[in-house]
Amino acid sequence: MAIDQIDRSVAIERPKRLTSSQTELVGVKTFRTTAKIVGAVYLAGFVVGLVGSGLFQSILGATGASANLPAVAASSVLLAFGAILWLMAVAGDAAHGVLMFPILRRYHERIALGYLASRIVDAVFIAVMVLFVLLQIPLAGAFVKAAVTDASFLQTVSGLFAQGQVYAYDIGMITLGVSGLLLCYTLYRAKLLPPLVAGWGLIGYAILFVGMLSEVMGSGLGLASSIPGGLWEAFVGVWLIAKGFSSSGLAQLAKRRASQDESLTGVA
Q: What's the CA gap between 23 and 190, in Å, rounded?
A: 19
Q: What percent of the chain has pLDDT over 90?
A: 64
The enclosing H or E element of 108 equals none
Summarised one tens digit per residue, pLDDT across range 200-223 is 999 999 999 999 999 999 888 888
Q: Which of 85, 55, 49 is nearest to 67 (CA)?
A: 55
The enclosing H or E element of 268 equals none
Summarised one tens digit per residue, pLDDT across range 160-195 is 999 999 999 999 999 999 999 999 999 999 999 999
The sign of the CA dihedral 79, 84, 82, 129 is positive
- Contact by Cβ (8 Å): 180, 122: no
Whether 23 shows a pLDDT value over 90: the answer reads no
Alpha carbon separation from 75 to 72, 132, 155, 219 (Å, rounded): 5, 16, 17, 31
CB-based contacts of 227: which residues, under 8 Å, 6+ apart?
Answer: none
Please state, as a whole number, how many other Cβ atoms lie within 10 Å of the Cβ of residue 156: 10
Whole-number pLDDT of residue 61? 78
The sign of the CA dihedral 153, 155, 160, 165 is positive
What is the value of pTM for the model shown?
0.84
* Confidence category of residue 150, pLDDT binned at 50, 70, 90: confident
The enclosing H or E element of 15 equals none
* Domains of the chain, residue spans: 31-254
Whole-number pLDDT of residue 46? 93
Q: What's the CA gap between 84 and 122, in Å, rounded?
A: 17
Phi, psi of 100, deg, nearest 5: -85, -15
Whole-number pLDDT of residue 109? 92
Over residues 102-111, mean pLDDT: 92
